[in-house]
Each structure stands twice: as structure tokens, then as C-alpha cells.
Structure 1
Amino acid sequence: MSSRADTVLFEAICTPARSLGQRGMLALCLALGLASAVTGGLFLWLGAWPVLGFSGGEAMLVLGLLALHRRWAARTAEVLVLTEGALTIRRTDARGRREELVLDPYWTRLRLEERPGRVSLLVLRRRGEAVEIGRLLGEDQKRDLAAALDAALRRWREPVFDNPQLR
């Protein structure tokens, strides 16, 4: 049985943008391999055969680093959960390390700080302490998260009670 303190009022999961899916990664690997083979073949035809090894090595290095970046980005996440008793921020970084912050939602204030020429900061403030959230998000996603979280915090602070006797 769930208690009132465990009721989830708001939950948001922030992950980095991953525009390249599995099929896109395969297409990129094939295109890079083909370009490397054509370049290596051209230099082999011109008699500069040592370039062939470097061309293949570069392609393998680029693909390896891209695969490593994709694996690290898949682990990275930030989860915001508002319950009756707390606002919890759970973060997992690229190395798998986890961090959890628990804030009192009544005293926590949300602020979107504009920075000209850069992505805005989304900050939760309480009693002189500031915690940045939504680091993985772009400008539009931060604005959406700010609006949704602000509305959830406002509903939590100013509940509307339905009294059937007053109807």
C-alpha cells in the first residue's frame, strides 16, 4: 500500500539528444569505410602504399571514438521526481556514477537564467544553495521542463481542495 508521501506528483527524465540511431550508425560506418577504402585505393594506385594503413587506422579511430561516445551518452540521465514530501534529483553520469539530491519543494524556487549567445541555465534555489538541472537539454527542452516543473511546484504549494459541501 502506497503512503501519501510516496505519491509521485511530477516526474521528468532528462537524457542527452541522440540523433543518430542504430541504422544511422551503420550507414555512417559503411560510408566512412567506403571513403577510407577509396582514398586508400587511390594512394595505392599512385604508389604511396604506406598511406593505406594510416587511412584505415584513422577510420577505425573515428568509429571507435564514436561508439565510445554513444555508449557513454546512453548511461547519462537525470531524473526529477516530485512527491508529497520531497523533490528528488537523481543523476547518472557517463561513467555510471550516481548522485542523488533531495530538496524540500516548499522552499525550492525554480529559475531560468538567460545567457546571451549560450543555452540558458535552469536552476533550483533554496536557502542560498543553487542546483543546476537539465544540463543535458537544449534551449527548447529546458523551457518546456521549466514550465512543467514550475506548474507542478505551484500546484503542490497551492493545492485546490474540493469540498463537496460547497458545491
Structure 2
Amino acid sequence: MSDSAPSLLFEAVTSPPQSLNRQGQRLVLGLLGAGIGISTLLFTIIGAWPVIGFMGMEAGLVVMLFALHRRHAARAQERIALTEASLCVRHTDAHGRVTEAAFAPYWARVRLEAGPSPRLFIQERRRRLEIGRFLGGEDKRDLAEALNAALGRYRDPRFDNPQLR
């Protein structure tokens, strides 16, 4: 056995929800383009042809914002990893900036604050870090349960010794 990275005991990766795949995005943009095209045609028929340029700029702006949002949302994620050595939280924001925090797994506690939009924290002594910001209430509860279970297994490991059976 080599002295490489410690073994991974638990891992959770969260990212912002993306309700539209590429095909859905094309459909929405196509419908928007059709609506703008029909409106442009109607304005041209009634003699308001200067509106064509503004509608074209509006369509271009919407397409650009769709693409920008998709690119930023694809970049953002949060990775929570429990190893034998530490509990690491790595958060990458939409601009690609990475922040990392490491906790001692034995002392780390998971706290879920109830409310209209629950908040999930990892706490170690006086340090506290919010996790699961991309998740909804039920998903935060599931993550809290799974992480608590993993930390419980870390703190109280069960060994299967056939000689003791």
C-alpha cells in the first residue's frame, strides 16, 4: 500500500440547479425569436420600422444573458469530502474563485437551522461555515443526515473481526 492521498469516506458535490438542458434552451430561444420576429413584422406593417433595430438588440441581449448564465452556473459547485485526515469543503463560485476550508472530522458538527429557508452549517469549536447553498430545504436535510451518518461512522468505526463471532 502506498502513502498516497487518504481514502475517501464520504463525498457530496452540489451545483446550482439548471432547469433547461441545451435542447430546452434552444426551444425557449427559438420561441422568443419567433415572437420577436412576428412583433417586428407587425410593427413594420404599421409603419414603425425604427423598432426593428431595438427588437434585434433585445433579442441579442436575451441570447447573451442565457449563454452567460449557463456558463456561470456550470462553473459553480461545492464539494464536501470526508477523508481519514480531514473534512474538506471546497466552494467554487460562478467566477471560478475557489475557497477551501478544512475541519477536524472528530470535532466537526453539522447544524441545520430551521426556518422558511433552512441553513446548513459545519461547525468546529468557534469556526462555522455554511454549506449546501445551492440546495433546497429537503435536500439540505438529506445532506445533513448523510453527513452526520458519515461523521458518526468516522467517530465510532465498526470492525468486522471473524474471530469474535
TM > 0.5 between the two? Answer: yes
Instruction: Summarize deviations over 1:21-73 as a string: whole Å, max 9, x none.
Output: 01001111111111001011111111111111111211111121111011000
Between Structure 1 and Structure 2, how many residues are aligned? 165
Partner in structure 1 of residue 123 of structure 2: 125
Per the TM alignment, residue 20 of structure 1 is displaced from its structure 2 partner at its CA by 0.3
> Separation in 1 of the partners of 2:16 and 2:110?
21
Shift in alpha-carbon separation, 1:96–1:114, aligned structure 2, 3 A: same
- Please point out which of 153, 156, 159 is paired with 1:158: 156
> Separation in 2 of the partners of 1:18 and 1:94?
13
Partner in structure 2 of residue 77 of structure 1: 77
Q: Are 1:101 and 2:101 matched, yes or no? A: yes
Residues 5, 85 of structure 1: 8 Å contact kept:
no
Tell me the percent identity.
51
Provide the alpha-carbon RMSD of the alignment: 1.4
Unaligned runs of 5+ in 1: none
Partner in structure 1 of residue 52 of structure 2: 52
State the TM-score, normalizing by the size of structure 1.
0.94
Amino acid at match of 2:55: S
Partner in structure 2 of residue 40 of structure 1: 40
Shift in alpha-carbon separation, 1:155–1:74, aligned structure 2, 3 A: same
Unaligned runs of 5+ in 2: none
Amino acid at match of 1:149: L
> Separation in 2 of the partners of 1:136 and 1:89?
14
SS in 2 for 1:150: helix
Partner in structure 2 of residue 13 of structure 1: 13
Per the TM alignment, residue 75 of structure 1 is displaced from its structure 2 partner at its CA by 0.3
